[in-house]
């Protein structure tokens, strides 16, 4: 109850600054600018988060709802702020709880333990909000009995939830973590599915009810194993705080708990997208590398062949040019080899009579190239 009172007391501060959407939607800001419902919801949720309380505002089909979670149960104390008739009574209840919390702390500093009721304002400090789950009865010195009782309470509460209430549990937890959840009824194939949509990115992830249940079961087993490794706490005398801790342990095993749903949504939305992006990047990089390697080897082979052909053509051409004397015509042939390439060349030359001039020409060919050359010479 102390946590609940602290949460509701913090809500008074938030509402006084226009954080609660259901109240402030009817009041503009002092400078005449309405920042909108979403901004006000975010402001309230930020105040509660910084104060260390698990409370938030979320939209429903019927309006905006303030959900104050106590001991991990997101179903506790749902307050409809969209109905103007409820505003005054809600604020009165919040002020009462804040006053009780303040007087309790004052009394504790004086060494007492009972809540002090202000005689001038007797209505404050009374009429507490009733928990929907019965508190764990103190069982001094018997932690096993406390855990068993907590498990029984949780099981009875869970079994008593209707389908619509279970759906609301999932929607509440999803909204707190930035997701909208849509539950699809079983189609012709008999498979019921849920779609988680991120408010920030619009990304959607759809899982079947069976996949969701398998994930939640695995999480329960994981937490159970972790708890078994921990040292069993000792409960001195009538310690209600330890009893509440045991109740929290039992509530953590619920398939619809907010913490498990958060992990499921993040695992489904973030891991799937991240892994798929990594796979796509690696696949594209592998294809690009393979293509680059093939291109590189092909270019090396082409250059090697080209060099061999050039050397073979040069050798064949040099050896195909005939040597002639005054007034004669001559033909010649030559071959050349370089690496794995070969070339053939044919040459002709003529020396003009008593002029000192001569002319020559060559024709060389390899498997891919043909080279033609001609020249004139003058001797003196």
Asked if 82 contacts 41 with a C-beta cutoff of 8 angstroms, the reply is: no
Residues 5 and 111 in one domain: yes
Question: Would residue 278 count as lying in a domain?
Answer: no
Q: Which residues pair with 196 in a beta bridge?
A: 181, 205
Residues 44 and 57 in one domain: yes
Residues 9 and 123 in one domain: yes
Q: What is the pLDDT of residue 26?
A: 37
Last residue of a domain, one of 97, 132, 167: 132
Query: Which are the contacts of 93, defined by CB distance < 8 A and separation ≥ 6?
Result: 8, 127, 129
- Segment 345-380, tens digit of pLDDT: 888 888 888 788 888 888 888 888 888 878 888 877
Residues 1 and 127 in one domain: yes
Asked if 354 contacts 376 with a C-beta cutoff of 8 angstroms, the reply is: no
Residues 245 and 205 in one domain: yes
CA atoms within 13 A of residue 339's CA, in its CB half-sphere = 14
Asked if 41 contacts 52 with a C-beta cutoff of 8 angstroms, the reply is: no
Q: What is the number of domains present in the chain? A: 3
Question: Would residue 262 count as lying in a domain?
Answer: no
Question: Would residue 273 count as lying in a domain?
Answer: no
Last residue of a domain, one of 100, 116, 132: 132
Last residue of a domain, one of 132, 149, 175: 132
Question: Would residue 267 count as lying in a domain?
Answer: no
Domain range for 324: 308-378
Question: Would residue 296 count as lying in a domain?
Answer: no
Residues 74 and 138 in one domain: no
pTM over 0.75: no
* Tokens 């509660």 found at: 48
3-state class (DSSP) for residue 210? helix
Q: What is the pLDDT of residue 188?
A: 66
**For residue 57, how many other CB atoms are within 10 A of its CB?**
25
Q: What percentage of the chain's residues is helix, strand, coil (to nearest 5)?
A: 50, 20, 30
Choose the weakest-confidence range: 15-29, 55-69, 214-228, 354-368: 15-29
The CATH number of the domain where 370 resides is what? Answer: 3.30.1300.30
Residues 100 and 126 in one domain: yes
Question: Would residue 269 count as lying in a domain?
Answer: no
**102, burial (CB in 10 Å: exposed 0-12, middle 13-18, buried 19+):** middle
Asked if 377 contacts 357 with a C-beta cutoff of 8 angstroms, the reply is: yes
Please indicate whether residue 153 or residue 63 has the higher confidence score (pLDDT).
153
CA 36 to chain centre: 28
Residues 83 and 143 in one domain: no
**195, burial (CB in 10 Å: exposed 0-12, middle 13-18, buried 19+):** middle
Predicted confidence (pLDDT) at residue 41 exceeds the cutoff of 80: no
Predicted confidence (pLDDT) at residue 255 exceeds the cutoff of 70: no
DSSP 378: E
Residues 235 and 333 in one domain: no
pLDDT band with cut points at 50, 70 and 90 for residue 271: confident
Asked if 335 contacts 343 with a C-beta cutoff of 8 angstroms, the reply is: yes
CA distances to 73, 92, 164, 176, 346 from 132, in Å: 10, 20, 17, 21, 108
């Amino acid at each position: 109850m102390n946590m609940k009172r602290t949460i509701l007391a913090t809500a008074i501060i938030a509402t006084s600054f226009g954080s609660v959407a259901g109240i402030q939607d009817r009041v503009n800001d002092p400078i005449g600018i309405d920042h909108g419902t979403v901004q006000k919801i975010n402001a309230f949720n930020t105040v509660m988060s910084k104060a260390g309380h698990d409370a938030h505002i979320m939209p429903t089909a019927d309006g905006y709802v303030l959900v104050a979670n106590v001991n991990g149960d997101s179903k506790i104390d749902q307050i409809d702020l969209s109905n103007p008739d409820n505003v005054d009574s809600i604020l009165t209840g919040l002020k009462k709880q804040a006053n009780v919390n303040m007087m309790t702390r004052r009394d504790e500093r004086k060494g007492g333990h009972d809540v002090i009721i202000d005689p001038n304002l007797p209505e404050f400090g009374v009429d507490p909000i009733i928990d929907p789950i019965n508190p764990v009865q103190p069982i001094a010195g018997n932690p096993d009995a406390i855990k068993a009782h907590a498990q029984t309470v949780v099981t009875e509460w869970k079994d008593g939830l209707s389908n619509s209430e279970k759906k609301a549990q999932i929607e509440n937890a999803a909204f707190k973590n930035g997701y909208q959840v849509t539950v699809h009824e079983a189609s012709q194939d008999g498979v019921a599915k849920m779609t988680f949509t991120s408010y920030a990115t619009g990304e959607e992830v759809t899982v079947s009810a069976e996949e969701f249940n398998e994930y939640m079961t695995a999480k329960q087993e994981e937490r159970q194993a972790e708890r078994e490794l921990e040292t069993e706490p000792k409960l001195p005398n009538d310690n209600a705080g330890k009893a509440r801790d045991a109740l929290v342990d039992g509530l953590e095993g619920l398939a619809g708990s907010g913490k498990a749903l958060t992990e499921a949504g993040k695992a489904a939305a973030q891991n799937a997208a991240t892994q798929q992006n990594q796979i796509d990047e690696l696949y594209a990089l592998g294809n690009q590398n393979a293509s680059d390697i093939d291109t590189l080897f092909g270019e090396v082979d082409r250059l090697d062949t080209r060099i061999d052909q050039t050397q073979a053509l040069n050798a064949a051409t040099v050896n195909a040019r005939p040597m002639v004397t005054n007034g004669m015509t001559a033909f010649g042939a030559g071959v050349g080899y370089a690496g794995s390439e070969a070339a053939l060349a044919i040459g002709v030359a003529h020396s003009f009579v008593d002029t000192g001039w001569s002319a020559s020409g060559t024709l060389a060919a390899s498997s891919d190239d043909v080279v033609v050359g001609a020249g004139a010479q003058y001797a003196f």
